[in-house]
Structure formats: C-alpha cells, structure tokens
Amino acid sequence: ITITYAVASLSLAILFGLPLGLLASGTLVPNRKIGLPLSALTRAFLGLTRSIHELVWALLLVIALGLSPGAGIIAIAVPYSGIIGRIFAERLQDVPEQQVVSLQSSGAHGFKLVALGRIPSVLPDTISYLFYRFECAVRTASVLSFVGLGGIGFQVDIALSDLKFETVATLLYALIILILSIEVISSSVRKRLLT
C-alpha cells in the first residue's frame, strides 16, 4: 500500500511538475513579452504548491475528500509537483548556451530547441532526482499512513499500540530495505543513462 501511494503520487507529480517546470524555465516561449510573465506566473504557482507541507495538504484533503487513498495521493502529489517543476526549470535554464546556439544556427527554434538542446542535457540528472523524490514519496506515504490512510506507518502504529516491538522493528527494517533498494536501482539507471 505504501509503495502504491508513492508510485501514484509521484506519477501525478511528474505529470504536472515537468510541464509546469518547462513553462517556468522560460525556455519554451522565445517572445519575452509573453514568456517572462508566463514564466513568473508558473514559478509563483509552483512556489505556492510546495510552500505547504504534505501533512497539511493531507489534513485539508481528508476534510474535503474524507479519509481515502485519493486524499493521501493528492497530498503528496501537490507539493512534489511544485518541487519537481522548480528543479526541472532550473536545470533547463542551466544548460550551456553554446548547445542551444549551435542548434539555432541550424534552424531549430521553439519546442525543437528545448527538446533537442536542453532536455537531453538534463535528462540523466532529472531521472536521478525523480528516483530521489520516489524515495521521499515512500517515506512520506509511510508517515501519512499514521493518520489512518493505510500502509506501513499504519501497521507500525497498530504494533506500537499493542506493544509488539519486534513487529515494529521488522516493519522499520522493511522500510529501510525498500529505501536502500530504490537507491541501488537509481544508481544503476543513472549509470546506464550516462554511458
């Protein structure tokens, strides 16, 4: 259940965060009169979404939607969208201009310029960062399950209430192994992308 929450929430965060990050970077729209206000508004929206912690989102969404998996998933996805969008925007902006200029001289512009000149440069680091965010989502999902949304945190809470400390230890070991496994997979994928 914890992994399902993490995968679902990160999938939503990527679905919204990456396109918003693209808009926030200011690299997509070359017209400065349109691009700068669009970038500023998108950055402000991303700042708003990530300024409220997942636990606060969870409490608000439980009030609005009831105690449901959807509330937990959205509570993680909203701030993670803002975080992913901001990081992606900054990485796109940090791409060396020489790559972009050489593509411009060959006739590329607009989305082609971003897709061929900027995104390939930031792809390995972005994927590595998304794995890190997945690791964070697993930890957050386990914490949110303490508020009754199910998952490993909920099981830890039950075991603590029953004074079954050996069960608590087993569950915590399982969480540690899960996080370390994500780290190993992340490193492997990143190495493959860089070679």
pLDDT tens by residue, the chain, 195 residues:
888 889 999 999 999 999 999 999 887 776 778 878 888 999 999 999 999 988 888 888 888 888 888 888 999 999 999 999 999 999 988 888 777 767 666 666 667 777 777 888 888 888 888 988 998 898 888 888 766 667 777 788 788 888 888 988 998 898 888 888 888 887 787 777 766
Nearest to 144 by CA among 69, 52, 82: 69
What is the chain's alpha carbon radius of gyration, rounded to the nearest angstrom? Answer: 20
Task: Look at residue 44 in the predicted model and tell me its pLDDT.
Answer: 94
Instruction: Count Cα atoms within 13 angstroms, Cβ side, for 147.
Output: 21
Task: Look at residue 153 in the predicted model and tell me its pLDDT.
Answer: 77
Tokens (6 digits) for 6: 């993490």
CA dihedral 25, 27, 30, 33 (to 10 degrees): 10
Encode 138-162 in three state secondary structure. Answer: HHHHHHHHHHCCCCHHHHHHHHHHC
pTM, to two decimals: 0.84
Tokens (6 digits) for 169: 């230890």
Task: Look at residue 42 in the predicted model and tell me its pLDDT.
Answer: 93
Distance between first and last Cα of the chain: 35
